[in-house]
A and B are shown apart, each in its own frame.
Chain A
Amino acid sequence: MKINLKINNKDYSIDIEPNITLLDLLRDELGLTGTKRGCEIGECGACTVIMDGEAVNSCLVLAPQTDGAEIITVEGLEENGELSKLQKSFIEHEAVHCGFCTPGMLMSAKALLDKNPNPTVEEIKTAIAGNLCRCTGYKQIVEAIQKTSEP
């Protein structure tokens, strides 16, 4: 079947099998491997992307359901060839250790900051509660997101 969607501001018209997920579409069909394949049951958040303005687990979205949707992945974060303020903040606060959760964390953080540019620590924690990190203890990640929101 054919689906039309926008990914990172680029229009795609793709022929797909209906039994693939958005995660499969991004990684296996389009080579956008920044989005990570983790648990595939919506527990770890490593596959988080933004779909029509909302953070979603791409492992739990059937690709045919993205027909007409607008998707942003971690590859869509950089601005004018440079890392975004959020990405730079992750580096500055050493919020990246092994890095596997980082793309999902960034997308959950971006979805939050797009709606709520000055979140409280509690709001940040709620927004990333669906993203598991086994290295950092989350402290640096929360700080990195918080600092991004400051002018």
Chain B
Amino acid sequence: MMLPKINYIKVNTLTEAYDAINQCLGELSILAGETDLLIELRKKDLDTHQNILDISNINLLKEIKENGELIKIGSLVTHTQLAESPILKKHAALLAQAASMIGSLQIRNRGTIGGNICNASPCADTVPPLVALDAEVTLSSIDGERVLPVADFIKGPYKTARKSDEILTCISFKKLPEGCRSHFIKLGRRNALSIARLQVAVVGMLDNTGNICYIKLAPGSSMPTPTRLHEVEKMLINEKPTSDLFVEAGERTAQIMIEKTGIRWSTEYKKPVLAALVRRGLEKVFKKTTNHGDTETQSR
């Protein structure tokens, strides 16, 4: 398959990137791991020049760092790096788990977290965990930086709040509290290379009386924009983690999905399945165990 003509610009620093953006006339696509962009490029008119800004050499954006209570992830960190990161496995296991389930190893070796967020697919695998972690993105331009919650940055399917002169440089969130457990469920047609049909990200903790004292719940592939389910979280907080409560939480989640999306062709399937996934996610996080931090990497 042919690619359209490309005006290719490679930069090594953010300053060079800002200069290139300012000098470029017309639309500019930012190239990172290119597992999404190259496929999109093949759909474009072959005779129209595409401006491509390759930021993959900006080494500053390739690190996962701890900064006190915060974890900061550079936007060029690959899914393989996320999946293997000891920092994430310790403090935000569900993000490492979600990254390990993306595409195939070849895709995970190239695809980046920044690209996954900016592509803003409704079934992006890193997004539900980031929303459950209340993560924020930093957008940088020649005029400075602004910070937005991931849930506000994604405006709809394949739409974000990124302005054309901005580069997503960093994703940051607070480490989960000590003793907090997390789990991510991805439902696809097969394990490898599947696009998620539904996802659920759950983060939670019990207090010493056995009541739920911390809960964050974010479904994926089910709402028009990614969001935490505050209403369902309220049902769960300060309650005992019983099977009945989890069933109720799952059913309420499915109702909220229908309220937000209306009845669609997929509703008959998604309604009971989303309810079941929420229940399973809650069971996984609150099941009695001495293990802190979920180490399971695949929900096969």
Contact = CB atoms under 8 A, between A and B. Distances in A.
A36 to B, nearest CB: 14
Contacts of A48: 106
Interface string B35-72: 10011001000000000101010000000000000000
Nearest to A122: B298
Contact of A62 (B34, B80, B104, B191): B34
Given A42-B39, A43-B193, A60-B110, A65 B104 contact: no
Interface stretch (A75-83, A88-96, A123-131): A123-131
Interface of A: 1, 18-21, 40-43, 45, 48, 54-57, 59-62, 64-65, 67, 108, 111, 126-127, 129-131
Contacts, number: 84
Contacts of A55: 105-106, 109
Interface string B199-222: 000000000000000000000000
B8 A130 contact: no
6 contacts: A19-B6, A40-B42, A41-B39, A42-B103, A56-B106, A131-B104
B146 to A, nearest CB: 29
B181 to A, nearest CB: 23
Interface of B: 1-8, 10, 31, 34-35, 38-39, 42, 52, 54, 56, 80, 103-107, 109-110, 191-193
Contact of A65 (B54, B103, B109, B192): B54
Contacts of A111: 105
B38 A56 contact: no
A40 B41 CA distance: 12
A55 to B, nearest CB: 5
Contacts of B5: 19
A127 B109 CA distance: 11
B106 A19 contact: no
Residue of B8, B39, B42, B54 with most chain A CB atoms under a 10 A cut-off: B8
B34 A57 contact: no
A42 B31 contact: no
A67 B8 CA distance: 13
A19 B39 contact: no
